[in-house]
Amino acid sequence: MRLFLLIVWCSVIFAAEARIGETSIQFVDRYGAPKDTPSSKMSDKSWPLLEGAIHHRYEYQGWRIRAAFLQLDGPAVRMEFSKLPNGQNPRIQDYELDAIKAANTPAGMTWKQILYDNPDSPNGPLAKLGEGYFANVIGEKMWQRTDGALLWHRSHLIVRLELPVARQHEEQLKIRKDQNTRASVPAF
């Protein structure tokens, strides 16, 4: 019963409307003004949530929320949730993960657990199966929403949400970089 009440309480905190896909104006309405600082901007350049995107950081009820937008007034295409270092347990509990999932589940959509697949891994299919096995052992899990959005529970400390357009953007960047690299080869 206590767990049920805690899940309901967390659901109230995160409310039951979708967050991924909201605009930066909607983020301000929900979480307050961004907590962007010069050091966070440097961090976002060194470790971007999504290369080439506009990044904002928010703090909300003991949580840090990073969001990446491909356009100034466009939707958030990738987000990360983590706890602020304020004496609380930094580990994201199952009921907190459930609240994040519920908050990012629009009407008519559902989440389904899928085989772990790190999109940043350069490994081939067989090695990725091994990665998936070990990731499951250490608790990394992935879910896919009916519209293709992904939720990734990373090392019990971060929850990442992304729309399919985020991966498409990364693939386009990779293709352009490859084309530029090939075009820079001198005509021997």
Q: Which two tokens stand for residue 11?
A: 């659901």
Q: Where residue 55 falls among pLDDT bands split at 50, 70, 90?
A: very high
Q: Place 53 in a pLDDT band, splitting at 50, 70 and 90.
A: very high
What contacts 62, CB < 8 A, 6 or more positions away? 83, 84, 86, 88
DSSP-based three-state secondary structure for 68: strand
Q: What is the pLDDT of residues 110-152, one digit of tens each?
A: 999 988 666 666 666 666 566 665 556 566 889 999 999 999 9
How is residue 23 annotated by DSSP?
B
CB 169 within 8 A of CB 181: no
pLDDT of residue 126: 64
DSSP 118: -
Average pLDDT of the residues in 9-28: 67
Rounded to the nearest 10 degrees, what angle do helices 2-14 and 94-103 cross at?
Answer: 40
Q: Cα separation of 165 and 110, whole Å?
A: 19
pLDDT at 155: 83
What's the confidence (pLDDT) of residue 3? 41
Q: What is the pTM of this model?
A: 0.76
pLDDT of residue 16: 35
> Average pLDDT, whole number, for the chain?
83
Nearest CA-CA partner of 141 in 83, 97, 186, 89: 97
Q: Are 71 and 56 in contact (CB under 8 A)?
A: no
What count of other Cβ atoms lies within 10 Å of the Cβ of residue 125? 7
pLDDT interval class at 38 (50, 70, 90) = confident
